[in-house]
Amino acid sequence: MDLLKAGFKEVKDAVTTKKISAVEVTKFFLARTEKLNPKLNAFIKMSDTALEDAAAIDKKISQGETVGPLAGVAFGIKDMLCTKGLRTTAGSKMLENFIPPYDATVVTRLKNAGVVVLGKLNQDEFAMGSSNETSYFGKCKNPWNEDYVPGGSSGGSASAQAARLAMGTIGTDTGGSIRQPSSFTGIVGVKPTYGRVSRYGIVAFASSLDQAGPMVSSVEDAALTLEVICGHDKMDSTTSQKPVPEFSKNLTTNIKGMKIGILKEYEKGVLHPDVEKTYRASLESLKKMGVEFVDVSVSLTEFAVPMYYLISASEASSNLARYDGVKYGFRADFKDLSSMNLDDFYSETRGQGFGTEVKRRIMLGTYCLSSGYFDAYYNKACQVRRMLRDQYVEAFKKCDAILSPVTTSPAFKLNERSKDTLAMYMNDIFTTSTNLAGLTGLSVPFGLSSEGLPIGMQLTGSHFEEQKILNIAYALESVSDVKGKTPHVF
Ligand code: GLN
């Protein structure tokens, strides 16, 4: 079996029929990570127990016990998700030494399904960024070309997955952080509907927007992961009671007659020629598959980026107040605590513990929430957000899914935008409205740029309509230009 290509099902079947052991699979990916990670900086912490965990699965199999649907599948986890006994930093100095006493629900469910956790993946600090350049643990590289960013904030997940340092990875998406890096690295990334996946044990950035999801090598593997991680969790009251479909069993490339919405507002934007070409090619392919195109309008998408940065920064300023140097996390080194005043204690600790981008968001958010500005900024943004959601609900009465690019350009070079905050924020122009409206969205690799970098197409689905976008992605994947292509590190 070729572990560089094998899907989850193939590996699970081979492990359960003892053609290969979970230990062998784990060893393969650990060795590959040891070889390639120094170049990519995708993993920032390896698990000390991966081989033991794999051996436990093999033991169960040899004793005839039942194992989960992902038995022996090796995963990397974004460092936003708590992992019991395994350092979890959210990419920040603030949590440099934090070892969680419990697993996030997503991690528990993956482990119960038989997944072996290899280690933790690099990311932008507290998931704030689009290039993985704000990580306290250093930049992460795009395995297709190491001069380029892998995207962000789930840059480590994207880089590790594209280079096949793991069979699957988990990312989080607050405004595009699963879809954008997936597009930049040629993998499949799904942001589930808000409420589909439990946020319990995930470091909170903007609680009304955050969702975790798969970043994997194929649509089928994404469907298989979703089946495991989705569903109600009593530890997160925002999770839905809706039953979780058997996404993988319902996959079909027959999408004839499906209605695909084209957003009028997105047609106006200026696209990089390679993205434009890929987008047009995807329309062409879908047409051949017999879909029907429908023009739809969601006029408030025009305000998605400012709305997103205002709301997410406000929620972040509140969520990140917990990092005070008292309860846990980093504390500045004080000579004499007894003579210290509390404000100085906080500001010294927080001043040293957070990076520049995180501080910018906290200041922006605190400003928007302060009395006198709350109504004018935060409340106004929340009202417009509700209207945006309503506009999408209307649009989805006319179509099954909306097709668009993920970003206006392919992956950019390291350092190219790190000093230009606005250019970095504008990268999220096509992705943030999905989160604001609580919808589901994904990126599926479809084209290659003139420099040989992958370009993904975005499908946005109505609430709890993951199956529809998975099926359209499955159809696109079958004719994708990226199919069978691998980054040069292979
Ligand atoms: N790039 C966006 C930001 O910096 C999105 C981040 C995310 O989805 N976590 O906020």
What CATH number corresponds to the domain at position 177?
3.90.1300.10
pLDDT at 86 over 90: yes
Q: Write down which residue in 382, 414, 436 finishes a domain.
A: 382
Atom 10 in ligand 1: which residue has the minimum CA distance? 128
CA of 9 to the centre of ligand 1 (A): 32
Q: Please state the atom number of ligand 1 nearest to the C-alpha of residue 152.
A: 1
- Tell me which residue of 104, 111, 109 sits closest to 200, measured CA to CA: 104
- The total number of residues shown for the chain amounts to 490
| 344 & 221 share domain | no
Per-residue pLDDT tens for 271-299? Answer: 999 999 999 999 999 999 999 999 999 99
State mean pLDDT over 27-54.
98
State mean pLDDT over 120-139.
98
Q: Please state the atom number of ligand 1 nearest to the C-alpha of residue 424.
A: 1
Mutate to test the pocket of ligand 1, among 153, 173, 182 (most ligand atoms within 8 A of CB): 153
CA of 174 to the centre of ligand 1 (A): 6
Residues within a 6 A CB radius of ligand 1: 127-130, 153, 173-177, 205, 312, 428
Q: Write down which residue in 382, 411, 438 finishes a domain.
A: 382
pLDDT (0 to 100) of residue 427: 87
Atom 4 in ligand 1: which residue has the minimum CA distance? 129
390 lies in some domain? no
| 157 & 71 share domain | yes
485 lies in some domain? no
266 lies in some domain? no
| 96 & 199 share domain | yes
Domains of the chain: total: 2
pLDDT at 268 over 80: no
State mean pLDDT over 448-470.
98
Alpha-carbon span 342 to 336, nearest angstrom: 13
Q: Please state the atom number of ligand 1 nearest to the C-alpha of residue 172.
A: 9
Q: Give the domain range for residue 343.
A: 302-382
Q: What is the pTM of this model?
A: 0.98
| 412 & 368 share domain | no
Alpha-carbon span 81 to 96, nearest angstrom: 14
Mutate to test the pocket of ligand 1, among 135, 177, 190 (most ligand atoms within 8 A of CB): 177
- Tell me which residue of 228, 160, 178, 157 sits closest to 12, measured CA to CA: 228
Confidence of residue 211 (pLDDT cuts 50, 70, 90): very high
1 lies in some domain? no
Q: Write down which residue in 319, 353, 382 finishes a domain.
A: 382
| 370 & 417 share domain | no
CA of 212 to the centre of ligand 1 (A): 13
Atom 5 in ligand 1: which residue has the minimum CA distance? 175
Residue numbers annotated as active site: 78, 153, 177
Alpha-carbon span 125 to 355, nearest angstrom: 7
| 36 & 163 share domain | yes
